[in-house]
Chain A
Amino acid sequence: MTAAAFNPSAESPAKIRVTDSTLRDGSHAMAHRFTEEQVRGVVHGLDSAGVEVIEVTHGDGLGGSSFNYGFSAVDDVKLVSAAVDEATSAKIAVLLLPGLGTVTDLRMARDAGASVARIATHCTEADVSLQHFQAARDMGMETVGFLMLAHRIGPDELARQARIMVDGGAQCVYVVDSAGALVLGDAQARVAALVKEVGAEAQVGFHGHQNLSLGIANSVLAAQQGALQIDGALCALGAGAGNSPTEVLVATFERLGIPTGVDVQGAMAAAEDVVKPFLTRLPFADRGAITQGYAGVYSSFLLHAERAAERYDVPAHEILQKVGEAGYVGGQEDMIIDVALQLAKEKEKAAG
Chain B
Amino acid sequence: MSKLTAAIVGPGNIGTDLLVKLLRSDLIDVHSMIGVVKESDGLTRARDMGIPASHEGVDWLLKQDTLPDLVFEATSAKAHLANAPKYKEAGITAIDLTPASIGPFVCPAVNLDQLVEAPNLNMITCGGQATIPMVHAVSSVVPVDYAEIVASIASKSAGPGTRANIDEFTETTSHAIEKVGGAQRGKAVIILNPVDPPMIMRDTVFCSIPADADKDAITASVHKRAAEVQEYVPGYTLRVEPQFDEPRDIWNGMARVAIFLEVRGNGDYLPPWAGNLDIMTAAAARTGEQLALKRGN
Contact = CB atoms under 8 A, between A and B. Distances in A.
Interface of A: 63, 66-68, 71, 73, 98-100, 102-104, 122, 124-125, 127-128, 130-131, 326-335, 337-338, 341
Contacts of B166: 98-99, 128, 131
B165 A131 contact: yes
With most chain A CB atoms within 10 A of its CB, the pick from B189, B250, B256, B260 is: B189
Contacts of B158: 128
Contacts of A332: 150, 152, 191, 193
A154 B163 CA distance: 23
Contacts of A67: 148, 206, 208, 251, 256, 258
Contacts of A333: 150
Nearest to A331: B191
B148 A328 contact: no
A103 to B, nearest CB: 6
Contacts of B189: 66, 68, 99-100, 331
A114 to B, nearest CB: 18
Contacts of A335: 152, 202
Interface residues of B, number: 35
Nearest to A67: B206
Given A68-B150, A128-B163, A329-B191, A337 B206 contact: no
Contacts of B195: 326-329
Q: Which of A71, A122, A125, A341 has the most CB of B within 10 A?
A: A125
B194 A68 contact: no
A58 to B, nearest CB: 13
Nearest to A33: B250
B250 A71 contact: yes
20 contacts: A63-B187, A66-B148, A67-B251, A68-B206, A98-B166, A98-B167, A99-B190, A122-B194, A127-B163, A128-B158, A128-B163, A131-B164, A327-B195, A329-B194, A332-B193, A333-B150, A334-B152, A337-B204, A338-B202, A338-B240
B39 interface: no
B77 to A, nearest CB: 14
A150 to B, nearest CB: 13
Given A131-B165, A335-B152, 20 more contacts: A66-B189, A67-B206, A68-B150, A68-B189, A71-B250, A99-B169, A99-B170, A99-B190, A122-B193, A125-B192, A127-B164, A128-B158, A130-B163, A327-B195, A329-B191, A329-B192, A329-B193, A331-B152, A335-B202, A341-B260
Contacts of B155: 124-125
Contact of B260 (A98, A103, A338): A338
A131 B167 contact: yes
Contact of A102 (B160, B167, B204, B260): B167
Contacts of A328: 193, 195
B243 interface: yes
A68 B187 CA distance: 11
A242 to B, nearest CB: 23
Contacts of A100: 170, 189
Nearest to A99: B190
A67 B259 CA distance: 12
Contact of A338 (B148, B164, B239): B239
